[in-house]
Chain A
């Protein structure tokens, strides 16, 4: 039969292509339905198969650096996926362990320490709000690479920005300055922090220096965002002044921007540096950026993580 065989229907290229396309469409549609109906990708469940980086390192044989890359990608996905999720309650529980495993597998994974510390410190809902874990991660990095002055500076920065402990911040900036090859401005930053820690101007100087010394776009963009937040805080101060003048004149707080515009205290509905209108909450007399703004929440206004 095979010698004088006639071509089967599916052997014709056009029929084959249609049949194959139909089957592929069935594969994709069944996967899509399953993902939609049954909690997409069960592989994304909050699970660490092996929570100990040292054990993983032994199991990885000579592929520990490659495995570190895999865990770094998992950490990024966990952070990014949770941050962008629509759910009401966000859990970043795996972030610390994933970063710890990554840096245990590859102790010289510079980016994992620095970016990881930024992720860990970010306040809820944009991050877990765990500066203590970030400091521990950076100290682990210092243990591996004592000549990395950026790690000391990052710890100082966490004390400065997130913990408002300006003495500790100045101490770490000084430590960073003492590392051979460190940037020249760290010593003046330490002095400035001691003298005027917490002032918006010194914060602006800090972020400006981070922006100028950043060795990658991610940290540079983060510095730009923080500088923009400081700009928003300046704007809000001015708007609070306008509202105060309205109260002095009318004897009651303004209900809306229209009232302030009508009274001539502001020229139009004020917008933040990203272009979204500021929010005037007449119920509690506060002015803030919109929760939809990239700048939300402003420093010192992060929400408490869910219990």
Chain B
């Protein structure tokens, strides 16, 4: 089983070599410039806007990493023919899939952790330079620990998106995988509308179909608690646990499917 961690570390090192972590510099610059500009443009909402911007940027940067690296994890090896030399080594196909997935999750974890630290640093500075009276007017403290819940669910969502991208990359081309993954990502934010479809259609068949799609398609909206956290609305640990459990089961199903497909794939 030591094979999987070794592949994971290799994927992480490869992403470092591919300069994926450069996005962290962009993120830090974005936050610092935005905090300065927003301070000139707004009256009293700087901390809220920086929180929104920081958490939103974490999600977007992570999404691009998850999709664009995720779709190439397997298909790139196949296109470069390096899959032959890989499989000639004592590496089983499912270990390759799990290792690649773990490696990208590790890359995401490092990215998101650094982004979170940068966000807290900027917010901490903003809090430090303000007067106590002004700080009292904020809905939530600038360095509110509850933001970590939002960051955690962003990470969990990105783990799910990575699993989707990896799943598609086991049997389709990188471009098609990207289209399908982004498609599911968009659908995943709107599919809650399918749940109440029976309120607007008379056909029971259409209602059942919509309800089935609601449960089968990934529902990504519940992972987004950024607005609640920024407005200091309560988010229970039970909710976070259930949403994480949902993601774990979904990721498990996707990885199992990816391993099953990849194990049967003929590379001749």
Determine if B87 is an interface residue (Cβ-Cβ < 8 Å): yes
Closest to A43 in B: B192
Q: How far apart are A41's CB and chain B's nearest CB, in angstroms?
A: 4
9-residue interface stretch from B30-38, B167-175, B243-251 = B243-251
Tell me the dominant secondary structure on chain A's binding face: helix
Q: B200, A30: Cβ atoms under 8 Å? A: no
Instruction: State the interface size on chain B (CB cutoff 8 A).
Output: 39
Partner of B246, one of A31, A42, A76: A31
Count: A-B pairs, CB below 8 Å: 104
9-residue interface stretch from B55-63, B102-110, B140-148, B214-222 = B214-222
Alpha-carbon gap, A8 to B216, bound state (A):
27
As a 0/1 sequence over residues 88 to 101 of chain B, the CB contacts with chain A under 8 angstroms (1 = contact) are 11111110000000
Determine if B199 is an interface residue (Cβ-Cβ < 8 Å): yes
Determine if A24 is an interface residue (Cβ-Cβ < 8 Å): yes
Q: B221, A11: Cβ atoms under 8 Å? A: no
Which residues on B sit within 8 Å (CB–CB) of A2?
A: 87-89, 91-93
Partner of B200, one of A16, A41, A76: A76
With A2-B91, A30-B245 as given contacts, are A23 and B252 in contact (CB-CB < 8 Å)?
A: yes
Alpha-carbon gap, A80 to B252, bound state (A):
36
Which residues on B sit within 8 Å (CB–CB) of A31?
A: 215, 219, 246
Which residues on B sit within 8 Å (CB–CB) of A81?
A: 196, 199-200
Q: How far apart are A282's CB and chain B's nearest CB, in angstroms?
A: 37
Partner of A73, one of B92, B193, B243: B193
Determine if B125 is an interface residue (Cβ-Cβ < 8 Å): no
Alpha-carbon gap, A241 to B242, bound state (A):
61
Which residues on B sit within 8 Å (CB–CB) of A34?
A: 222, 239, 242-243, 246
Instruction: State the interface size on chain A (CB cutoff 8 A).
Output: 35
Which residues on B sit within 8 Å (CB–CB) of A84?
A: 199
Q: How far apart are A24's CB and chain B's nearest CB, in angstroms?
A: 6
Can you list 21 A-B pairs with a CB-CB distance of less than 8 A? A1-B91, A8-B92, A8-B94, A23-B253, A27-B250, A28-B215, A33-B242, A34-B239, A34-B243, A41-B196, A41-B221, A42-B221, A43-B192, A43-B221, A44-B195, A73-B193, A73-B200, A77-B197, A80-B196, A80-B199, A81-B196
Residue numbers of A with Cβ under 8 A of B are: 1-3, 5, 8, 10-11, 16, 19-20, 23-24, 26-28, 30-35, 37-38, 40-44, 73-74, 76-77, 80-81, 84
Q: A8-B92, A27-B249, A31-B215 are in contact. List 8 more A-B contacts (CB 8 A).
A: A1-B91, A1-B92, A2-B92, A24-B216, A41-B193, A43-B189, A44-B196, A80-B199
Residue numbers of B with Cβ under 8 A of A are: 87-94, 189-190, 192-193, 195-197, 199-200, 215-216, 219, 221-222, 236, 238-239, 242-243, 245-246, 249-250, 252-253, 256-257, 259-260, 263-264
